[in-house]
Amino acid sequence: MANSMQTPSTHAAPSRQPAVFLGHGSPMNAMDDNVHTQAWHALGARLGKPRAILAISAHWYTRGTFVTAEAAPQTIHDFGGFPDALYQLQYPAPGAPALAADVVQRLGDFAAAPRTDWGLDHGTWSVLRHLYPDADVPVVQLSIDATRPWSDALRIGTALRGLREAGVLILGSGGIVHNLSRVDWQGRAPTPDWALGFDRWVADKALAGEDATLADPSTFDAAGRLAVPTPDHYLPLLYVLGTRFADDTTQVVHTGFELGTISLQALQLG
């Protein structure tokens, strides 16, 4: 593990890093200055600089569990129909191959494997541009295995929990409410009650430590089924909750919506 932590940092990492889940919203947040991106910038300042980041993005949704092992991961522009300026943005953070190898070892029970054909997708770099704009913290991405039950996301998080005590910030990026079929593309309609209600329900369960309930979709009511039509954006939250230590504090560090039905709520453990 020590080799993966050799990149110098201007701030000493605390003995235990937090784990954070962020709703990342539109790719345009990568370049916009708004209440959400300002909150991410402030969060990065409060967290301080970790030794490395392990990111779980909604946009690396795979059959199997994979870890980026590149020394210099590419910036992936995995979206379409946006302004040219967005495609010119780069986030040249270094990778951490030794950390990737450590993650693979910790996830041996889940048949994790390294890959060098991915990089950093926009679920990761669009928020990191605001959290750590200098791109000077090594970043490794972990894929979401679409073939596993939701409860395995908690188990994988638990297997990775020890990384937090080695100076690694664990970052999940997705969205608690993410229903593109119900968005108001004009951005004028208020957020519907079902979206607000489910967003609050998830926060309440997370604050109460009821992680198993959140990992069981049979507990969702009609609002939950509308809020999570597909699991890709919701599952990063479960990976983060799986890293919970018994003495962790849990807090909501940001709330808000875009386009009516896209939640940007952020939660922090530790």
pLDDT, residue 135, reads 98
How high is the pLDDT of residue 13? 47
Q: Which pLDDT tens digit goes with each residue over 135-146?
A: 999 999 999 999
Query: CB-based contacts of 134: which residues, under 8 Å, 6+ apart?
Result: none
Burial class (CB in 10 A: 0-12, 13-18, 19+), 214: buried
Distances (CA, A) of 79 to 76, 100, 268: 9, 26, 27
pLDDT-derived band at 9 (thresholds 50, 70, 90) equals very low
User: What pairs with residue 169 in β-bridges?
Assistant: 53
Beta bridge partners of 120: 75
The 10s digit of each residue's pLDDT in 229-250 is 999 999 999 999 999 999 999 9
Mean pLDDT within 148-158: 98
Which residues, at least 6 apart from 257, have a Cβ–Cβ distance to it below 8 Å? 177, 191, 195, 196, 199, 263, 264
168, β-bridge pairs: 52
**For residues 156-177, average pLDDT:** 98
Q: Which residues pair with 268 in a beta bridge?
A: 20, 251
pLDDT of residue 14: 53
pLDDT digits (tens, 9 = 90+) for 91-105: 999 999 999 999 999
Residue 188, pLDDT score: 81
User: What number does CATH give the domain 2-269?
Assistant: 3.40.830.10
- On whether the CB atoms of residues 127 and 180 are closer than 8 A, the answer is no
Banded pLDDT at 124 (limits 50, 70, 90): very high
